[in-house]
Amino acid sequence: MARKIVELTEVTKIYEGKVMHRALNRLDFEAEEGEFIAIMGPSGSGKTTLLNLISTIDLPTYGRIAVNGIEPETLNQNDLALFRRRNLGFVFQTINLLQMLTVEENLVLPLTLDRVAVPEMKRRIAALADKLSLNEILSRRPDELSGGQAQRTAVGRALIHEPELILADEPTGNLDSKSARDVLELLSKINKSAGTTIIMVTHDPLAASYCDRVLFIKDGEFFNELYKDEQRRTFFQQILNVLSLLGGNVNDLSSVRIP
Ligand SMILES: Nc1ncnc2c1ncn2[C@@H]1O[C@H](COP(=O)(O)OP(=O)(O)OP(=O)(O)O)[C@@H](O)[C@H]1O
């Protein structure tokens, strides 16, 4: 049986504010090594909360979480930061590349923090630039890149330290459909070739159709789950069907792209 890379058992997250809000309610979720999973649900259903808990940025109010066998609650802030840096890669909708640095310098940033030797950095850049088609743009700065090139660089930066788990929050949200496809195909290729586990929050059923499994949540609880066992187009249709059952804000479907 494949190794479990993420395990959530009866996880509840309550935000304490003026008004107390239960964002997740006794949620169970597991991800096995090598899975490519989408998390979908209406606005406010708890997707980002779930991703923040898996990424150990936030802790649950009740319940148990283990990521790569580690329970984040048992680590102090320093060890948690180190754990994230070594084990996780992050890709966000807003592509947060450092404007002062070239693509190449942005790519190696996580390695600089870990004081990796220069020859090893060069080896990893060469391998990644090939895989991500970044060779032509390594010396450019972020403001000289298209949206797709910038997001491919951000994916590269998330991958350069060879993490076991990639966490992506709407990675195609700001991209045109061609660039979105390029990024999704890239994520899919990395998932298949390196066996990297990927968990991606998305509103976009086309993006979700690249995954092997889609978890739907509603009001912080499990709503449904779909596994891809046919063509991507059929899977896309099945995802749309569940989304229509799920309801929520009609704007959530405004970004639907046709495969
Ligand atoms: N720090 C916070 N304090 C209080 N309530 C919060 C906080 N963060 C999120 N919430 C509430 O928790 C619920 C879930 O939020 P979350 O961001 O996880 O939803 P989401 O599914 O990612 O939504 P969206 O698709 O709009 O990004 C929402 O009702 C939100 O208002």
Q: Give the nearest ligand 1 atom to 252 CA.
A: 25
DSSP 108-170: HHHHHHTT--HHHHHHHHHHHHHHHT-GGGTT--GGGS-HHHHHHHHHHHHHTT--SEEEEES
Greater pLDDT, 69 or 259? 69
List the residue whose alpha carbon is closest to atom 11 of ligand 1.
23
**Fold held by 4-94+165-253:** Rossmann fold (3.40.50)
**Residue 134 Cα, ligand 1 centroid: separation in angstroms?**
35
Instruction: Please compute the mean of the pLDDT values over residues 97-122 and round it to a whole number.
Output: 91
**Share of the chain residues as helix, strand and coil, in percent rounded to the nearest 5:** 40, 25, 35
For residue 253, pLDDT over 80 is answered with no
> Is it the case that residue 250 has pLDDT exceeding 90?
no
Per-residue pLDDT tens over the stretch 145-154: 999 899 899 9
Q: What is the C-alpha separation between 219 and 44, in angstroms, rounded?
A: 7
Per-residue pLDDT at 230:
80
Distance of alpha carbon 65 from alpha carbon 9, whole angstroms:
6
Atom of ligand 1 nearest to the CA of 201: 22
Domain locations in the chain? 4-94+165-253
Terminal-residue alpha carbon distance, the chain? 33
Q: Rounded to two decimals, what is the model's pTM?
A: 0.91
Does any ligand 1 atom lie closer than 6 A to the CB of residue 15? yes
pLDDT over 70 at 232, yes or no? yes
Going by alpha carbons, the residue nearest to atom 12 of ligand 1 is 23
Distance 201 CA to ligand 1 centre (A): 13
Q: Does the C-beta of 45 come closer than 6 Å to ligand 1? A: yes
Cβ-Cβ contacts under 8 Å for 137 (sequence gap 6 or more)? 103, 144, 145, 149, 153
The C-alpha angle with vertex 210 and arms to 252 and 26, in degrees rounded to 5, equals 60
Q: Identify the residue with better confidence: 120 or 131.
A: 120
Question: How confident is residue 112, by pLDDT bands cut at 50, 70 and 90?
Answer: confident
Going from the Cα of 23 to the center of ligand 1, the distance in angstroms, rounded, reads: 7
Would the CB of 52 count as within 6 Å of ligand 1?
A: no
What is the CA(20)–ligand 1 centre distance, in A? 12
Q: Is the pLDDT at 143 greater than 80, yes or no?
A: yes
| Per-residue confidence (pLDDT) for residue 229, from 0 to 100 | 86
Q: How high does pLDDT run on average in the chain? A: 91
Ligand 1 atom nearest the C-alpha of 52 is 18
21 in contact with ligand 1, CB cutoff 6 A: yes
- pLDDT tens digit string along 156-207? 999 898 899 999 999 998 888 888 998 899 899 999 988 999 999 999 999 9
Residue 24 Cα: closest atom of ligand 1: 14
**CA distance linking residue 26 with residue 13, whole number of Å:** 8
Q: Is 48 in the pocket of ligand 1 (CB under 6 A)?
A: yes
